[in-house]
Chain A
């Protein structure tokens, strides 16, 4: 049972800081995200800009870009994911240690973007790996990336470590490795991971009736 917020506030005025183990851990995790150092297209340039002096992502504790997935806990999918690249992205995700988080940066990583009709572009990396934060834009400005990062930190701070609705990394039943798609004769096989993503239902008529 967490501490009563009001009581904690009262104690704070007396100079006594009370916290729970859970929020301490989550605070630590959210404040030292180590992103995986890889970029796929023009969004990567904005990502680099966000880490440089002007926007300075280090202010939010996410400046240590790691060139190895073993040392990273945040995957920034910055750019167009081609079908040829998708298995490698999933493989990198599998190689990262839990807890791990994914930010899909830019229209391409979210949905295929302007290349959505193309035969060679994956229509959103969320077809294969679970995405925590989507940042729209083509490409998103560095401020948008920072906003997405802060949102992700908010998500991490709310994570439960025990109980029924605990976070994936605290759940021994949480999946270990995601299946890596294989190169098929016409498309990736399978074209999506049904445990992670399913085509959204569409009912345009129903929507129209509501309006």
Chain B
């Protein structure tokens, strides 16, 4: 038997009515069907405590805390327009239109909860920061699940998510003096590139910066070769 995320979301909303407005159910259309619940950061501790302590739910194990970076951008959504009956046979397939919507501009934390007692899971919860700059805080769930402590430190280290209420929020993988958030999409690698005989893709771009003349010539000659083989 598997858990039905939508029903759990409804149950939380019913039992904790003051939190209902902050809950959003996300359906995952992919075959994995890992549906999730988006929780307001302020309600996170309360929701987690409820999920852990309520009999019938008993999500006693927080397996995973991961960070996701959603940079500001546009997301193209496909909207299917069903064909009207009067159209000819050529338009048999439903028309698909792409609509661009502004999206992102925040950091997300994804929690995977399991119930050891009921041998079920995972229940996927998500929480978002207000933006990727100053308002990068999410409530820490370490008071509820001790296993979150190191994983939140990792998300803090690599994504720069500030977990309010964390007992010991320090970098865990990189050194303390490090200032960047290396798993963010806009992170720029340190320029410690070394020449290699067959640079390609990103490596080639960086190689060009280091060896502007010779590398540019090499690219030219490669293009010439490609043309000659054509």
Task: State which residues 62-97 of A face B: CB under 8 Å.
Answer: 83-84
Judged by a CB distance under 8 angstroms, whether B202 is at the interface is: yes
Query: Which of B176, B180, B211 touches A186 (beta carbons < 8 Å)?
Result: B180
Binds B, one of A25-33, A98-106, A200-208: A200-208
Q: Which residues of chain A come closer than 8 Å to B179, judged between CB atoms?
A: 185-186
Partner of A199, one of B175, B195, B221: B195
Q: How far is the CA of A84 from the CA of B175 in the complex (A)?
A: 6
Chain B residue, CB-CB nearest to A186: B190
Interface residues of B in 174-204 (CB under 8 A from A): 174-180, 182, 187, 189-190, 192-197, 202-203
A-B contact count (CB 8 A): 61
A191 at the binding interface (Cβ < 8 Å): yes
Instruction: Compute how far the CA of A202 lies from the CA of B210 in the bound complex, rounded to whole angstroms.
Output: 10
Interface residues of B in 214-230 (CB under 8 A from A): 214-215, 217-218, 221
The verdict on B81 contacting chain A, using a C-beta distance below 8 Å, is no
Q: In the bound complex, do residue A208 and residue B221 qualify as a contact, i.e. CB atoms below 8 Å apart?
A: yes
Nearest chain A CB to B101 CB, angstrom units: 32
Chain B neighbourhood of A185, CB < 8 A: 177-180
A119 interfacial contact with B, CB 8 Å:
yes
Taking a contact as CB atoms closer than 8 A, the residue among A83, A117, A119, A201 that contacts B202 in the complex is A117
Q: Chain A, 155-185, contact with B by CB distance < 8 Å: what is the 0/1 string? A: 0000000000000000000000000000111
With contact pairs A124-B194, A205-B218 given, residues A119 and B211 touching in the complex (Cβ less than 8 Å):
no
Given the interface contacts A117-B202, A120-B173, A204-B218, does A191 sit within 8 Å of B211 by beta carbon? no
Q: Which residue of A lies closest to B207 (CB)?
A: A202
Q: Give the distance to chain A from B219, nearest Cβ to Cβ, in Å.
A: 10
Place the interface of chain A in its size category: 20 to 34
CB-defined contacts of B214 to chain A, threshold 8 Å = 202-205
B123 to chain A, nearest CB (A): 32
In the complex, what's the smallest C-beta–C-beta distance from B7 to chain A, in angstroms? Answer: 43
Give Cα A184–Cα B192 distance, bound, in whole angstroms: 13
Q: Output the nearest chain A residue to B198 by Cβ-Cβ distance.
A: A204
Whether the pair B194, A204 counts as a contact (CB closer than 8 A) is no
Question: In chain B, what residue has the closest Cβ to A112?
Answer: B194
B190 partner residues in chain A, CB cutoff 8 A: 119, 186-187, 191
Contact of A119 with B210 in the complex, beta carbons under 8 Å = no
Given contacts A84-B175, A204-B215, contact A123 B203 (CB under 8 A): no
Residues of B with C-beta under 8 A to A202: 195, 207, 211, 214-215
Nearest CB of B to A148, in Å:
22
Are A183 and B175 touching (Cβ within 8 A)?
A: yes
Q: Which chain A residue has the least Cβ–Cβ distance from B202?
A: A117
Closest to B211 in A: A202
Chain A interface (Cβ < 8 Å from any Cβ of B) = 83-84, 111, 117, 119-120, 123-124, 183-187, 191-192, 199-205, 208
What would be 24 A-B contacts, judged by CB atoms less than 8 Å apart?
A117-B202, A119-B187, A119-B189, A120-B174, A120-B182, A123-B193, A183-B175, A183-B176, A183-B177, A183-B178, A185-B177, A186-B178, A187-B190, A192-B192, A199-B194, A200-B194, A202-B195, A202-B214, A203-B214, A204-B197, A204-B218, A205-B217, A205-B218, A208-B221
Given contact pairs A120-B174, A192-B192, enumerate 4 new A-B contacts (beta carbons under 8 Å): A119-B190, A186-B179, A187-B190, A208-B218
Closest 10 CB pairs of A and B: A187-B190, A183-B175, A202-B195, A183-B177, A185-B179, A204-B218, A205-B217, A191-B192, A202-B211, A119-B189
